[in-house]
Structure 1
Amino acid sequence: MEKTAPKKSLVNVLGAVYVHSKTGDGGDLYLTRFAEQYQEHFQIENWHEKHWFDKHKVRLKGTSSVYRVQTKEVEGKSLDLVVKTCRVGEDVPIDTHTLQEFCDAEFNSPWEEFSLVFEMRDGLYGPKNMKVKTQRPMAIYMPPERMQLWQSGRSRAKINRIRAKHPGIDLDILKEYKLIYEWIRGKNLTELFEHIDINHEELVHHLKTLTHKAIIDMDKKGFLVADMKPEHIVLSEDDSERIAKVGQEHKIDPVKEQVELIYRLIDEGQYSVIDYELLLRTKEHEEDVKSTRRHSYLDDQRDRFKPTPLPPHLSYAEILGVPYIYGHAESTGGHLWVVGRNARLFDYFLPERWRKTPSLKLSETKEVFYTITKDNIRLVWKASRVGEMPAGGDEGNEENSKIIKYGINSPFEEFAVSHKLNRLGIPSVYIRAIYMTGVPKIEASSDRRKYDSHKDILDPEGNPILQESHNYITIRGYYNGPDHLVARQAEALYMPLDLSKAPYKGIVDEAQCQRLLEKTKQRLADAGYDGSLLKANDLLLAVDEDGNFMKDDNGGPVVILCNFEFIWKVGGPVFACECAGEAN
């Protein structure tokens, strides 16, 4: 029977484009542009079949699981590959000096690592006449199995921290990732000096000096490796043979000439840097990238409802009147809906851009966190409570009785409410994205009504958007002013202030706080919404650096809604889409 070719699709993750396909063993394979012409070589049976891999693999020196392996011949050609297991989530085993200098060093995710390597290869930052040579990143392979914690070698404390910070997505990192690079024929600095007759003191001096030169070169191009070693610097096979040949010649001082040749080659940039799991941008380069991406982000958010060209791996979707760009979060197996029609916004909300950044919990009772993403974007994310019922089940309590009657809004309903209220002139925080985690949630839902009511609302792939077996996280903007004004500013216009805290700050008094709360509830009622369960901490004021609040047309404080779990449309979920001309 003729073998069916696997279905392929293009995906773009953090600026790198991959050809994605399912493998014969049920895993996932992502090929870069360097591997596209060798697609047959990367079929699992041609390099990772157990008997072949075990027979042909050669373990390379180092602390990680890295192997050199040759593929089977395809049309008379085989490839030499380096296959390494990604160590994201593990503790970084670096020496004390390095630990002091890079105390926050963490292993890159596979997508971050490849993205940084491509960026370093492109060499757009720093002197134009310099290039940092690297291995060619070929592919990322995700086996179908999920590891147990004890198998992963990953830190339980680190996973517990991720669990505390990111409910429902902690087990994503128990996936195994294989990063595949092209093997560079040649020798690293340590291997070169093994055959040069010098004493230990001289050896240490030369290795340190040459490594420092490579570090300086990388710094000029805006990059560094937190654990840079002589083993990470490789000279080509031809140059390695030249060095060895000089040592065999009958000269007065062949050792001196060998060493001088190595220095000359390093000075000329005739070397490659390998091992990128701790590759970082320098502080200056990182700030430059963040500034550029933040300004691009603000412009794109201002124009988020203006359609842009749609890459093949993304789709348009409209759910309850809200337009989205829909796609997969390849690093976790999750799904992502980004508000608007601007496809350029999608990458900003991939979980690897915000899930590991330091966060501040904003609520004592809810999983709500503030963070600054890797792109220097201020966001607030919250674990959705859809499917939950009030603790205790006291139906006599007004709050409980309404929740029991209507149910906690789904993330898509929350976004539809916020979107519509802004259209009606009732200020609400800007909704940005909805993330569905890639792994099943542990706890069962006690209220299935929302899942039933959403069962016929499908994503572009034909699956229900709301799945009881997964957790959902909503992402909103950290309110600092209207988007169209913020896009023009270098700094934030305002800072959000919880209305319940405003009296303690002297912004408003207690009586005014209550009046603002009741006025907001009445405005919602007039618009056909039940917001009777709102509390003062569900509302925000926007305050400038001098303590002055953003004013409405009547000179009073603008009150911004920031919680939509318990705002229900009276008479049913009617969410008309009128977003084509929306500016904010």
Structure 2
Amino acid sequence: MAFDDLPSEYKARAYGVDYARLCLLGGGELFLTRYGWGLSKRALPKAWFIDQRYEETGKKLDGTGTVYRVPIVVPVGATKDVVVKFSRVAQDVPIFVDKPVAELVPRSVIDNACFNDPFEEFGLLTELRRGPFSPDRPPIKTKRPLAIYSPPREYKLWQLGRKEGLFSQHVARLRADQEKNGTGVPVTLHLRRDYIMFFQWVKGLDAVELYNDGFLTAEDLQNLYNKSNLDLRAHNLVVLDHKPRHLILRPLRNGIELLARDGTFDYALIDFELLKHVPTDLPDKASTKELASAGA
């Protein structure tokens, strides 16, 4: 069945993203986006979650969060890699905001930094992917948001590292969104349950790896980082913990050149848990030259 042909009792919406909401045996919930609908059977917990199979078959990725690269079987019998990421909603935010990023946002955005809940994260990512686009508002490649899974098991708050007061703010925002834009199929957040996100795996190497391997110069790395910050700011968005490791580039088959367009490197952005709106009444964004000077 095509995603658009789903019966209305399965169609949910949160923060502008349409989902197929599946209530699973045992009480878990699975929310599949339009991108993830084709993987519906492979996203079921028995394929990757039961007995922590994601740890057995996947590879834990570097970083402060809990993130795995996990192979799943696709219909043709081959495997396809996905990113399995545990949401850190309502946890403390241990970040250092780099100077080029800090200069693009008001101090209040940094002082009130919090991890997105999974539905906020998918909503902001989808907004970034949709545009609109223009010469001054370029498209930014990203990994696709596929699904959100909430297992039925409940934990104590200290086990999840969550702050109840902070979590209640996410609940209130989601409730307001549902009242205004929901479909009647409820999308809710459960204080004591995990939320696990599925993303498409983006092939390539991160910018720091490419610098270490000699594909990028120090100047290339700085310019790419500055450009990505400005590209986000053109969409009135910012990633508060943005860093070059969040930028993926793909070497050509000969292993010498990198894919480029109009003299600039093509990149994909892969981290969104601190993707935030920037108030639109701020002064005009800084130029790339100014950012490069600030980051020097």
Scaled to the shorter chain, the TM-score interval is 0.7 to 0.9
Is contact 1:214-1:266 (8 Å) kept? no
Whole-Å Cα distance in 2 between the matches of residues 62 and 25 of structure 1?
32
Partner of 2:191: 173
Q: CA deviation at 1:128?
A: 7.2
Partner of 2:208: 190
Deviates further, 182-191 or 117-126: 117-126
Q: Summarize the Cα distance change of 1:164–1:13 in structure 2 as closer, same or farther, 3 Å threshold.
A: closer
1:393-434 CA-to-partner distances (Å, cap 9, x unmatched) read: xxxxxxxxxxxxxxxxxxxxxxxxxxxxxxxxxxxxxxxxxx
SS at match of 2:41: coil
Q: CA deviation at 1:126?
A: 5.4
Deviates further, 91-100 or 106-115: 91-100
Q: Summarize the Cα distance change of 1:137–1:97 in structure 2 as closer, same or farther, 3 Å threshold.
A: closer
Partner of 2:142: 134
Partner of 2:184: none
Q: CA deviation at 1:80?
A: 0.9
- Listed as ranges, the gaps of 5+ residues in structure 2 are 1-7, 176-188, 283-296
SS at match of 2:31: strand
SS at match of 1:119: helix
**Percent of residue pairs bearing the same amino acid type:** 31
SS at match of 2:191: helix
Is contact 1:226-1:279 (8 Å) kept? yes
Partner of 1:504: none
Whole-Å Cα distance in 1 between the matches of residues 132 and 281 of structure 2?
11
**Where do 1:137-536 residues align within 5 Å?**
137-154=145-162, 158-160=163-165, 172-196=190-214, 203=218, 205-236=219-250, 240-242=251-253, 245-246=255-256, 264=260, 268=264, 270-284=266-280
How well do the aligned residues superpose, as a CA RMSD in angstroms? 3.3
Whole-Å Cα distance in 2 between the matches of residues 90 and 270 of structure 1?
33
Q: TM-score, normalised by structure 2?
A: 0.74
SS at match of 2:63: coil
Q: CA deviation at 1:8?
A: 6.9
Which has the higher Rg, Structure 1 or Structure 2?
Answer: 1
Q: Summarize the Cα distance change of 1:111–1:148 in structure 2 as closer, same or farther, 3 Å threshold.
A: same
Is contact 1:265-1:271 (8 Å) kept? no
SS at match of 1:173: coil
Partner of 2:12: 11
Which structure carries more relative contact order (alpha carbon 8 Å, separation 6+)? 2
Q: CA deviation at 1:213?
A: 1.2
- Listed as ranges, the gaps of 5+ residues in structure 1 are 1-6, 247-257, 287-584
Is contact 2:97-2:240 (8 Å) kept? no
Q: Summarize the Cα distance change of 1:196–1:106 in structure 2 as closer, same or farther, 3 Å threshold.
A: same
Partner of 2:181: none
Is contact 1:82-1:181 (8 Å) kept? yes
Q: TM-score, normalised by structure 1?
A: 0.39
Q: CA deviation at 1:74?
A: 3.9
Whole-Å Cα distance in 2 between the matches of residues 97 and 73 of structure 1?
40
| Residue identity matched to 1:69 | V
Whole-Å Cα distance in 1 between the matches of residues 265 and 131 of structure 2?
13
Partner of 1:495: none
Is contact 1:69-1:80 (8 Å) kept? yes
Q: Summarize the Cα distance change of 1:197–1:76 in structure 2 as closer, same or farther, 3 Å threshold.
A: closer
Partner of 2:113: 105
